[in-house]
Amino acid sequence: MDNNYVQIKDMRQGLKNVNVVFIVLEVGHPTLTKENREVRTFKVADQSACINASVWDEAGQLLVPGDIVKLTKGYVSVWRNCLTLYTSKAGDLQKIGEFCMVFNEQHNMSEPNQVLPQIPSSCGPPNNLPLNNGTNNGAGRVGPPPSIPVTTTAPIQHNNLTGPAKSTPNNTARPTGNGAPSDNQKRQRGSRGGQHRNRHNRAT
């Protein structure tokens, strides 16, 4: 495989002894390691796709955008969830030209994998999504307000809206018809009978 060149679109994690020709598109800021070494991240591309390349020390200082480079004995790994092309200790970087190269920047092999394992949802919101406490001052998404069951009670209607009738002197029941006479009626009849007898005696 040393004599064969690999297209960037065919690069996969764990691929070794990679030979590739690419053009430098972007140069990142240097990062200093604990061993006092500089490492830079480059965005490189060929006619098939583009990818991030990590270049160490002096080689990273010399390369600029537009350089056409041949990489031998590189390898591919994942760094921070991004597919990255590296130069091995036995590898080599060689500038072979400038600018005149067809490349594909749309197909980015170093884009983070968007298909992540989904955690089955349980009852309630996930722990990493804070809910607002109702004041709209909290961070994160605002959860829906808890549903409160509403119970309505219809008023009981009575046919008698005025309530029970009170007993008053005016609406007391009086006996009618041929019922037994009361004591007052007996006294009134007795006095009438006496008056009739007095009139009869005077006439005689």
Mean pLDDT within 61-71: 93
Q: Which residues pair with 87 in a beta bridge?
A: 74
pLDDT of amino acid 119? 39
Among 65, 57, 54, which Cα is nearest to 110's? Answer: 54
Q: How many CB atoms lie under 10 A from the CB of residue 115?
A: 5
pLDDT of amino acid 155? 53
Locate all alpha helices (DSSP H) within the chain, ordered by sequence: 57-62, 183-203
pLDDT interval class at 57 (50, 70, 90): confident
Mean pLDDT within 137-160: 51
Q: Name all domains of the chain by residue range, CATH numbers in brackets.
A: 8-98 (2.40.50.140)
Phi, psi of 184 (to 5 degrees): -65, -40
pLDDT digits (tens, 9 = 90+) for 89-120: 888 999 999 988 999 999 999 987 644 333 34
